[in-house]
Amino acid sequence: MHSAPTTYAGVADVIAVLVLLTEFAMLRAPLLRSQVRLYMFQSLVVTALAVVVAATRHIDELYVLALLSFALKVVLVPNLVLRLLRDADVDLAGSSVLGVASMTLIAIGVSAFGFFAVGSLHVHSTALPTTALAVAAAVVLVAFVLIILRSDVVSQAIGFFSLENGISVASLVVAAGMPVVVEVAFLFDLLVAVVVFGVIMRVHHGRTKTLSTDELDRLKG
Amino acid sequence: MSSVLVVLIFAPFAVGIATFFLPVRFSKVVTTVSGASSFVLALVLIPAVTSRSHVAAGSLLRVDALSAVFLTATTFLYGATAVFANGYLDLAKGAAGVRYGRRFYAGLNIFCWSMIAATLVNGLALLWVAIEITTVVSALLVAIDDTDGATEASWKYVLIASLGLGIALFATVIMYYAGTTVFGAAYDLSYTKLLAGAGRFPPDVVRLAFVLAVLGFGTKMGLVPVHTWLPDAHSEAPTPVSALLSGALLAVSFYAILRYFQIAVRTLGPTFPRNVLLIFGIASLLLAALYVLSQRDLKRLLAYSSVEHMGILAIGMSLGAPIAVVGVLLHVLAHAAAKGTAFFGAGSVVRKFGTKDMTKIRGAFSALPWSGPMMVASVLALSAMPPFGLFRSEFLIVLGGLSGPRGVVAVLLVVLVTLAFFGVSWSTTQMMFTQDAQVGSSDNPGSANPAKGEVSTSIVVAMALGLVALVVLGVHPPSQLNHLLNDAARELGSRR
């Protein structure tokens, strides 16, 4: 337990890295549809982490949470966004400010920053896989890169949802004992946020006939 | 007393649901009653809180002196805004107007409910949940006018504020982790527990959590450089919503930061948390004071003035002197009243002249015999003129600053506030007092001089309520309130 990482820590780290890689994949996905699918996959991986934590640390409430997060983040949210895409009849993501290569380089830079910054806190713990926490911080930062550099409402919304996935990873590894009522409240909040994002995305599409945010430059100063 | 908390957490929500189905003329009455009675209930809580240190209902609801201050500010604005909205709303005839009225009143009540809930809940996690609800509800309210500007503002708002709250959620998770080192893997994030154990939390972890919380909740509070959604949302939202966003929502977000501050000073000592707030505060005050100078849009002007006042709050906390902290808490109350009144006046002017562009509004002082002078009074109040509450609060803050080791900061504060005063008074004076010599001519057809007369009595009543509150806060705050502010300031101190 003290020297070699436990199976649990290993699994948690692998899953955190998978989430980060999915975030990078989103960054380069040219089709909005594939971006939503990547989000679906990412959420599935996070759900798997919840199951792993529940099983290895014997926290039965986390099974409920995993079930809810599966229903919400793997089924409901992606389907809502996909329906919006079908109605809007748009598939290509708006051109991003930078090319894929520069975006990836920036993302590598910020994720390294997040990883080492949180890593340098020396969050020492025998029971907790602290590497996964550092990777989760990297996920959050890459989500920011995605949101800043993509200029369409779907990518930005998916960026926000995946940021939430990153925080879910962090919360599963360092705050697994959080009362389940709180976790459910978080998920419920996410649901409400998704609905509101959906409403505003539809209003936006209704007014501008596009999903691009390029025209949102009227208000300044 | 705990039943008061239960009523406060259920009634506004129930009213919100009911107003979605009721005809608008009933909604107006019900909302006003709900707002006024929430304010009365908040006042009833004040003596209870000061005599018993806190009032709790179950493990989930708890009001202490600190939350009572913010609860009072929020419920006051709830009531005043309900009165104002009754006069301000100008619903179209037919189904569209009915639909708008229903959505508006349901949204208004649920928005106020979520802010009230944020001050009532006991724990950082539930606090985050409540503030996230304020975001999504108010984003819908910003979008409700369905114009290009409203759509743009609401998208920016929901995205930027949600990202900020994403960071705040990260802060919550990290603070939870800090707690696990003392309480073991499973505990609730209640304030009492966190404050009791805060002295033994790992400092680096708390430092990270505090900075993330200031950045995250600071996004909702409008601290520079994460304030960018604020002027857009405030200017494009319906005016009653702008008043609530500015007077209550920003304050509630500040309340969340104070909760983290409370824990951080116990773990880290006061220096680090104060320095963090100082940096954000100076940046906010400086940038807002400069932006105020160049505004043409009346509601954007008031929005930047809010950024300025949030900067004052952050700086006041960073000064550390207990008297400055009392000033900060009084400032929260006075700012709610003053900014509410100013937005009500702006609503009156905008309805009268049909534009927010201050270069097209002339002679508003005489065109609006009651709300014109009261608008001028509220602007003077915002600029911290006596006899209004903001004078007293800023005086306390500066006094606390000059008596402590950070006298330079207090001087800087006075300079920047004066700069902002110049900006705000310059443009409003022109709008209120200049007669239409150069405008209203053929090149400026939008500014036809409207006939003299008020838009609505309700607007005048709402503004009068705000000014009365400001004078009371400025001239002679009730002793119970002083007691409350002192208690709250003591709760924010580092009792280590």
Q: What is the mean pLDDT of residues B448-473?
A: 88
Per-residue pLDDT of B101-137, as tens digits, reads 999 999 999 999 999 999 999 989 999 999 999 998 9
Q: Do A200 and B158 touch (CB under 8 A)?
A: yes
Please name the residues in contact with B151: beta carbons below 8 A apart, sequence gap of 6 or more: A200, A203, A204, A207, A208, A216, B143
Question: Is the pLDDT reported for residue B443 higher than 50?
Answer: no
For B440, counting Cβ atoms within 10 Å of its Cβ (0-12 exposed, 13-18 middle, 19+ buried), the class is middle
Element (H, E) at B406: none
In this predicted structure, what is the pLDDT of residue B449? Answer: 65
Q: Lowest-confidence range among B324-338, B392-406, B444-458?
A: B444-458
In this predicted structure, what is the pLDDT of residue B436? Answer: 64
Supply B87's token pair: 């006069």
Per-residue pLDDT of B136-146, as tens digits, reads 899 999 999 88
CB B450 within 8 Å of CB B369: no
> What region, left, alpha or beta, does residue B354 occupy, with left being phi > 0 and alpha being psi -120 to 50 degrees?
left
Nearest-angstrom CA–CA distance, A134 and A132: 5
Q: Where are the alpha helices (DSSP H) in B322-406?
A: 322-353, 364-367, 371-382, 389-403
CB B87 within 8 Å of CB B351: no
**The dihedral formed by the CA atoms of B233, B238, B242 and B244, expressed in degrees to the nearest 10:** -130
Nearest to B185 among A140, A177, A199 (CB): A177
Identify all chain A residues contacting B155, using CB atoms and an 8 Å cutoff: 153, 200-201, 204, 213, 216
What global pTM score does this model have? 0.93
* Beta strand segments in B45-186, E: 54-57, 61-64
Identify all chain A residues contacting B232, using CB atoms and an 8 Å cutoff: 219
What integer best gives the mean pLDDT of chain B?
90
User: Is residue A209 less than 8 Å (CB to CB) from chain B?
Assistant: no
Q: Where are the alpha helices (DSSP H) in B237-297?
A: 239-244, 250-268, 271-293
Q: Do A174 and B162 touch (CB under 8 A)?
A: no
**Per-residue pLDDT tens listing for chain A (221 residues):** 455 667 778 888 899 899 999 999 998 888 888 889 999 999 999 999 989 888 888 888 888 889 988 998 899 889 988 888 888 777 676 666 778 888 889 999 999 998 888 877 766 665 566 788 888 899 999 999 998 888 888 888 899 999 989 998 888 888 877 777 777 778 887 888 888 888 888 888 888 777 787 777 777 77
User: Is residue A32 less than 8 Å (CB to CB) from chain B?
Assistant: no
First to last CA, chain A: 57
Question: Is the pLDDT reported for residue B328 higher than 70?
Answer: yes
Question: Is the pLDDT reported for residue B367 higher than 50?
Answer: yes
First to last CA, chain B: 30
Other residues' Cβ atoms within 10 Å of the Cβ of residue B78: 30
At B437, is the pLDDT very low, low, confident or very high (cuts 50, 70, 90)? Answer: low
- Nearest alpha-carbon partner for A134 in A162, A110, A164: A110
Question: Is the pLDDT reported for residue B462 higher than 90?
Answer: yes
Nearest-angstrom CA–CA distance, B222 and B157: 11
At B429, is the pLDDT very low, low, confident or very high (cuts 50, 70, 90)? Answer: confident
Which residues sit opposite B64 in a β-bridge? B54
Nearest to B208 among A121, A193, A200 (CB): A121
Nearest-angstrom CA–CA distance, B23 and B459: 21
At B183, is the pLDDT very low, low, confident or very high (cuts 50, 70, 90)? Answer: confident
* DSSP letter, residue A98: S
CB B377 within 8 Å of CB B300: no
User: Is residue A75 less than 8 Å (CB to CB) from chain B?
Assistant: no
In this predicted structure, what is the pLDDT of residue B440? Answer: 44
Per-residue pLDDT of B379-409, as tens digits, reads 999 998 889 999 999 999 999 999 888 889 9
Identify all chain A residues contacting B170, using CB atoms and an 8 Å cutoff: 137, 140, 167, 170
Distances (CA, A) of B276 to B105, B257, B265, B280, B314: 39, 11, 12, 7, 9
**The dihedral formed by the CA atoms of A49, A51, A54 and A57, expressed in degrees to the nearest 10:** -50
Q: Lowest-confidence range among A19-33, B17-31, B422-436, B475-489?
A: B422-436
